[in-house]
Amino acid sequence: MLRSAAFVLSLLVSPILCAADKPLALVIHGGAGTMSREALTPEREAEIRADLDRALDAGHAVLRAGGSALDAVTAAVVVLEDSPHFNAGKGAVFNAEGVNELDAAIMDGATQRAGAVAAIHRTKNPIRLARAVMEQSRHVMLIGEGAEKFGESVGIEFVDPAYFRTEHRWQQLQDAKAREAAQAALPRSYHYGTVGAVALDGEGRIATATSTGGTTNKRWGRVGDTPVIGAGTYAGARCGVSATGTGEFFIRLMVAYDICARMEYRGDSLAAAAEEVVMKRLPAIGGDGGIIALDGEGNISATFNTSGMYRGWIKPDGTRGTAIFKE
């Protein structure tokens, strides 16, 4: 009888122990591009790494407390949006009209729910608005004035558009206009910039969030891959991906979904799928950039075909790091 009781008790306790033993993982990025070691001062590098660490701390604190992957990626991306060092939120680039035009998306791999916003101008943290679209509307993507009217109806925080202005980004726009007038090519770095996070929580759920200011001097309401579910942002039961790079190519190849689909349908490892898509398929059509991704075991990929990508990670064993170039 005692043995039988002990056996029943073990059945009741085991699921709790298994859940507690599940891996926690978080990976973030602050954009890929043609970074130059010479152009990156030690002071600026230290500031960028500090912001990456703050984003890791914010997201991982949620996971350690038993929170959801959705809450973790939201927390991490909010920190990156609030930093002037990345092309999202506070640090967003200007479009051709001298306006900051913001896009964001979030996806819950466990439920396949997703929310996205594009071409917004007054939302302090676009990732919060994207999440509200997912959780408080029956839609997936809202754009422009309509998206922000929805945001007002659900209590999203708004700021004066002047909040987004940074002198560094303003000078980038002036340089881009001067080069355009002289019919000179823009530096590749002007086409990059996105932030993102992918998390695996204690329940085995994966979520992904991505946010961007787009490309410097963009026109005509251009929208890149970030808010396009499957292109720049995707999460499923086994895989989550956030992308950064020249968005038009990521849209054409549906990069984020392609990586996860290769794992789901062909049994590819995360590393093999990311390598094939980012290092072979993208360059074959002229695309460049990178991705961060993780799988249900907590394996992490940060794969890019550019000279650098701002990135950070915390693995299931608790080890962590940040990097910029191909260390």
Exposed, middle or buried by CB within 10 Å (0-12, 13-18, 19+), for 13?
Answer: exposed
Which residues have C-beta within 8 Å of that of residue 310, sequence separation ≥ 6?
29, 30, 31, 32, 35, 48, 52, 86, 322, 324
What's phi and psi for 59, nearest 5 deg? -70, -40
Report the 10 Å Cβ neighbour count for 238: 16
Active site members: 194
Which residues have C-beta within 8 Å of that of residue 238, sequence separation ≥ 6?
109, 206, 260, 263, 264, 295, 296
Closest CA to 210 of 58, 62, 33, 77: 77
Instruction: Assign residue 123 a region (left: φ > 0; alpha: ψ between -120 and 50; beta: otherwise).
Output: beta
Gap between the Cα atoms of 169 and 171, Å rounded? 5
Gap between the Cα atoms of 8 and 155, Å rounded? 48
Tokens of 320: 């962590």
Reduced to 3 states (helix: H, G, I; strand: E, B; else coil), residue 324 is strand
CA-to-CA dists, residue 18 to 3, 204, 286, 315, 318, angstroms: 22, 11, 45, 18, 18
Reduced to 3 states (helix: H, G, I; strand: E, B; else coil), residue 182 is coil
Q: Where are the alpha helices (DSSP H) in the chain?
A: 2-21, 42-64, 69-81, 126-136, 144-153, 167-181, 247-253, 255-266, 270-276, 282-284
